[in-house]
Amino acid sequence: GENVEQHPSTLSVQEGDSAVIKCTYSDSASNYFPWYKQELGKRPQLIIDIRSNVGEKKDQRIAVTLNKTAKHFSLHITETQPEDSAVYFCAASKGNAGKSTFGDGTTLTVKP
């Protein structure tokens, strides 16, 4: 089955700096890669996603890049703010098969 590894497990940055979280996946058939933000005690919420026919996607301060050859994808957050502090999860799925395999999460702390 699919295996998703996520790094780093914790990340601390100063407000205004950029943060990068990386994930690798094992199943070359995976074609959908969402990123979720989970604040303490709350539900995971989709913040951005990318499909395998696209190499990069951007939404304001958040961007995701995908390298299908290397089987890795990354989340980039620019101009970080304290409210960006949360746990971020990546996932990989085979689209229509519906099943997502999640990474173990990255705890991002943005220090004011």
Using CB under 8 A as the criterion, which residues of the chain lie in contact with other proteins when the complex forms?
4, 6, 32, 34, 36, 42-46, 49, 89, 91, 93, 95-105
Nearest to 43 by CA among 104, 101, 86: 86
Over the Cα atoms of the chain, what is R_g? 13
Please tell me the distance from the alpha carbon of residue 35 to that of residue 53, in angstroms, as a whole number: 17
Q: How far is the CB of 27 from other proteins (least distance, A)?
A: 14
Is residue 11 a contact partner of residue 107, using CB atoms and an 8 Å limit? yes
Q: Which two tokens stand for residue 19?
A: 């943060």
Based on CB atoms, which residue is closest to other proteins, 2 or 20? 2
Nearest to 79 by CA among 21, 11, 17: 17
Q: How far is the CB of 47 from other proteins (least distance, A)?
A: 12
Q: How far is the CB of 51 from other proteins (least distance, A)?
A: 8
Based on CB atoms, which residue is closest to other proteins, 39 or 79? 39
Based on CB atoms, which residue is closest to other proteins, 77 or 87? 87
Based on CB atoms, which residue is closest to other proteins, 16 or 95? 95
